[in-house]
Amino acid sequence: MDAFYASVAQRDDPTLRGRPVVVGWQAKRGVVCAASYEARACGVRSAMPIGQAERLCPSAVFVAPDFAKYRAVSAAIGEIFRSYTPLVEPLSLDEAYLDVTANLRGFATATQTARAIRAEIAAVTQLTASAGVAPNKFLAKIASDWRKPNGLFVVQPHEIEDFLAPLPVARLPGVGPATARQLLAMGAATIADLRGVPLATLSARLGRAGERLHELAWGRDERPVCPDRPVRSVSSEMTFEQDLRLTEIAPLLVPLAAQVWRGARDGEHHARTAVLKLKTADFRTLTRSVTPPQPPTTLGEFLGLLEGLLGRVELGLNTRYRLVGTGLANFYTPVGPRQSGLFCATPEPPPAAVASPPP
């Protein structure tokens, strides 16, 4: 979907159409959930501090996020997807992979199927969707961003190598600023350059991530579309546009925790374990988890566990991070009256820090 949260706001309030819209709360430590394309033209981006967004775009209209509405729209879109194929793998409220090799509507090509799906989404939701059609998930993801907003882009099998060759290595999943610098030091600024780096060198410098990048550079991705996978955890991550210190990450725990808690509540999942994930600027991944004697029963309890986990990170105050994630895991079936209302009357997070990962 195109600027999903902001587009929903513009759809439901005609006075916002054509104006820069920022989804988030105006508060001292608030962060941007999402920005309309008009706001993005001013430089506003997701996860940006609200104050910075105000300075960049004084004419922006700030609206509070409405996750219940987003989930309802997402459910309607999911029904459309499943009317074309049972092979639907949701990534978030506004994005999914579909395998339409054998679609239910009898379209001859994936491109025809994508056109029909986009048209139906527009008719049902009054929102625009962009689509990428390609032989695998990695390429389809890149293609889906190619003609945003409201676009369709197709990568045919014989076009893969030429399509990828001129792209900067930063377009590859998992390549942030630190990894891009490492690749540049190896002489790889573009994906074509990356193909010339020996696999042994990539493996020695980046480990398994280097092996994965080698495959992606040639357009190879064997991952299947996996619908209805058993839910073993609920998580949410945010990648920063600029690397942050640990103290700057703390306020972002609230919006991420809120989204995870809502996701668990909606799926009626009850979890014993809280999980915190951090990725450093040099691409090291740290995971911390805690399983308290009594499982968390409120968002506040979950957030308290995450804050405790953050305090256990011992890499130094000057270490910078490119990603933070939160999660709930170790699901169980509640027994007894104490757990019967596990997700009832969940307190909302304070407006000072409500946000979500970029849509």
End-to-end CA distance of the chain: 8
Q: Which residues contact 108 (CB under 8 A, 6 or more apart)?
A: none
Which of 54, 95, 248, 307 is the catalytic position?
A: 95
Q: Reduce the DSSP state of residue 15 to 3 states and report it.
A: helix
Q: Which residue has the tokens 């920063």?
A: 240
Q: Reduce the DSSP state of residue 244 to 3 states and report it.
A: strand
**Separation of alpha carbons 258 and 292, rounded Å:** 19
Q: 96 has which bridge partners? A: 90
**Separation of alpha carbons 251 and 247, rounded Å:** 8
**Residue 248 catalytic?**
no
Name the percent of the chain in helix, strand, coil, to the closest 5.
40, 20, 40
**Separation of alpha carbons 137 and 337, rounded Å:** 44
> Which residues carry out catalysis?
95
